[in-house]
Amino acid sequence: MQKLFAESYHISWHYINFSKSLHMTEKPITRKTFTRSNHFPEPGSERERSSFNEIQQAMKTQYERIFPDKLAERTVVIIPSLTLDIEILSKVKGAVHYEERLLCLLMLLRMPLTKIIYVTSVPIPDVIIDYYLHLLPGITGYHARKRLTLLSCCDSSTKSLTQKMLERPRLIETIRQTITNPETAHLTCFNITPLEKTLAVQLGIPLFGTDPDKFYEGSKSGGRKTFRESGVNLPEGYEDLHTKQEVITSLAELKRMNPSLRKAVIKINEGFSGEGNAIYRYPEMPIDERLEENIATSFSQHVKTVAKDVSEDLFFEKITSMGGIVEEFLEGDIKMSPSVQCVINPDQRVDVVSTHDQLLGGEDGQIYFGAIFPADTRYNVTLAEEGRKIAQTLAKKGAVGRFAVDFISVQQDDGSWQHYAIEINLRKGGTTHPFLMLQFLTDGKYHPET
């Protein structure tokens, strides 16, 4: 692992901290004093969009020529940033450790000419890095360390890691100088937003993932539309809601549609890990022309946010700013919560890479705890087929990279399983890192047709 020192009297204190947080190489690297560059396009501008599209052209070539070749030289810049809503993320237990999820990608160092640059908000303890490096088959820890550069912002604030990086032009320049050949380098992130798009442009390397301009396709509302286009089952519900009144109206319509419905789920478009959800329990009331009014009158008594520290007011502030959906809470005597991971290649080819049964907890089974791989053999093949349909629809819309689709699967009276697509995570997710670790350690491949 390399340690980069800055030798200048004109650098800010946070950069000194950033420099000292890294691991030592044989001799310090003398760096010039860097100032914030003015040659980068303005974030969100047409010039940035044009630059991003031009840079992304290299991704297809890399995917075809470099990705399959284990002996090819490459540099992978890993940014495990959770660029998600700060207020909701702060309610997730252990979120401070989420940047360690992508340490599974250190297994890429088993390829002898691969270099990795891994950036975090705060330094990761050496013992954790050593643990991963000692898992590398056929590669010594010493050899792997020489090809690993760890960088830290030394900033534990609630800002996203990508935002912290963009506020540190010297860090951006350090990464640029550490990349030996930009033509064989790419950027991989936990999730992608306009901030990651800006970062890719400033680093001058392509991003393996979906252009954030297509982010809507991965939202709760966009996902429901994609499910319909794909011809897969989904819960009855409504999307593109932006007010509490629209939510209440939708709840009334669902009850009229299904008088036996006991519960409904309200979801913020950009929620994650179930923390952006709320459960509404229908009270006993007549289904007549006053149904909507009666729901509104007693609404606060019967709605409960999944995240304990998220108030009803804050929840609906997020619905207003981000949008959301309302859908029926699916019931069943035997009910599972599987997911399908897919990869859309830059040439729009689709691969189903895994199926999982998710372990959900919390009062209404909305919180993600873990997963079992592969999904139950009674339905994993049909589940993979449903995932492939959705992936093909997303590919036509321009999505690229790894993503997951969550389902609810209910066993029918005849023993068959009915799958309902619930949401799309157009990013890496909770099932990504355990599966990648298994794949790297075994050099295996999942066969979705068996």
Sign of CA dihedral 68, 70, 71, 72: positive
Q: Is the pLDDT of residue 413 over 50?
A: yes
Pair (319, 401) in one structural domain: no
CA–CA gap between residue 90 and residue 85 (Å, rounded)? 9
Task: Choose among 445, 425, 447, 449: nearest CA to 435.
Answer: 445
32 with 148, same domain: the answer is yes
Query: What percentage of the chain exceeds 70 in pLDDT?
Result: 86
Q: For 429-432, which contacts have Cβ atoms below 8 Å and span 24 or more sequence positions? A: 429/339, 429/341, 429/403, 429/404, 430/273, 430/358, 430/368, 430/370, 430/371, 431/339, 431/341, 431/354, 431/356, 431/358, 431/371, 431/373, 431/404, 432/101, 432/104, 432/341, 432/402, 432/404
Are 367 and 274 in the same domain?
no
What confidence tens digit (pLDDT) does each residue in 345-381 have?
Answer: 998 999 999 999 988 776 667 677 788 899 999 999 9
- Say if CB 342 and CB 404 are below 8 A apart: yes
Asked if residue 304 and residue 336 are part of one domain, the reply reads: no
Does residue 23 surpass a pLDDT of 80? no
How many other CB atoms are there within 10 angstroms of residue 249's CB atom? 17
Average pLDDT of span 411-427: 93
**What is the model's pLDDT at position 298?**
94
DSSP 253-322: HHHHH-TT--EEEEEETT--TTTTEEEEEPPS---STTHHHHHHHTHHHHEEESSTT--HHHHHHHHHHH
Would you say residue 28 has pLDDT above 90?
Answer: no
Among the candidates 268, 301, 328, a domain finishes at 328
Q: What pLDDT score was predicted for residue 11?
A: 28
Backbone angles phi and psi of 371, in degrees to 5: -155, 155
Residues 49 and 174 in one domain: yes
Residue 139 — left, alpha, or beta (φ > 0 → left; ψ -120 to 50 → alpha)? beta
Cβ(327)–Cβ(404) below 8 Å: no
| Range of the structural domain that residue 361 is part of | 216-220+332-442
Question: Distance between CA atoms of 149 and 22, rounded to whole angstroms?
Answer: 8
Q: Of the ranges 15-24, 110-119, 374-383, 409-418, which one carries the lowest mean pLDDT score? A: 15-24
Q: Same domain, yes or no, for 311 and 180?
A: no
- CATH code where residue 376 lies: 3.30.470.20
Would you say 282 and 302 are in contact if contact means Cβ atoms under 8 Å apart?
yes
Residue bearing tokens 């890691």: 161
CB-based burial, 22-52: b 16+ in 10 Å, e otherwise:
beeeeeeeebeebeeeeebbeeeeeebbebb
- pLDDT, tens only, 274-330: 678 999 999 999 999 999 999 999 999 999 998 888 899 999 999 999 999 999 999
Residue 5 belongs to some domain of the structure? no
Q: Confirm whether 186 is domain-assigned.
A: yes
Q: Evaluate whether residue 449 is within a structural domain.
A: no
* Beta strands, E only, 94-177: 114-120, 148-152
What pLDDT is recorded for position 174? 97
Banded pLDDT at 141 (limits 50, 70, 90): confident
Considering the domain boundaries, does residue 282 fall inside one? yes
- 59-109 confidence digits (pLDDT tens): 999 999 999 999 999 999 999 987 766 666 665 666 667 889 899 999 999
* pLDDT bracket for residue 33 (50, 70, 90): very low
Q: How confident is the model at residue 177 (pLDDT cuts 50, 70, 90)?
A: very high
Domain boundary among 293, 328, 363: 328
The strand pairing partners of 437, in sequence order, are none
Average pLDDT, whole number, for the chain?
87
The answer to whether residues 21 and 130 belong to one domain is yes
Residues 6 or more apart in contact with residue 104 via CB below 8 angstroms: 132, 432, 433, 434, 436, 437, 440
- Of 409, 443, 349, nearest to 136 by C-alpha is 443
Q: Are residues 143 and 28 in the same domain?
A: yes
What's 152's DSSP letter?
E
**Biggest alpha carbon–alpha carbon distance for the chain:** 78
Q: What is the identity of the amino acid at 377?
A: T
Asked if residue 1 belongs to a domain, the reply is no
192-250 pLDDT, tens digit per residue, is 999 999 999 999 999 999 999 988 888 999 999 999 999 999 999 999 999 999 999 99
Q: Are residues 292 and 343 in the same domain?
A: no
Number of domains present in the structure of the chain = 3
DSSP string of 71-98? TS-EEEEEE----S-HHHHTTSTTGGGG
Contact between 408 and 339 (Cβ < 8 Å): no
Coil, strand or helix: which one is 149? strand
Residue 2 lies in a domain: no
What is the per-residue pLDDT for 144?
A: 94
- Crossing angle of helices 169-178/194-203, nearest 10°? 50
Give yes or no for a contact between 337 and 358, defined as CB atoms under 8 angstroms apart: yes
Same-domain pairing of 194 and 257 = no
Same domain, 162 and 187: yes
Report yes or no on 93 lying in a domain.
Answer: yes
What pLDDT is attached to residue 39? 82
Q: Is 148 exposed, middle or buried (0-12, 13-18, 19+ CB in 10 A)?
A: buried
Last residue of a domain, one of 267, 299, 328: 328
Confidence (pTM): 0.84
74 in any annotated domain? yes
> What is the mean pLDDT of the segment spanning 421-433?
85
Do residue 259 and residue 351 come from a single domain?
A: no
Mean pLDDT of 19-43: 49
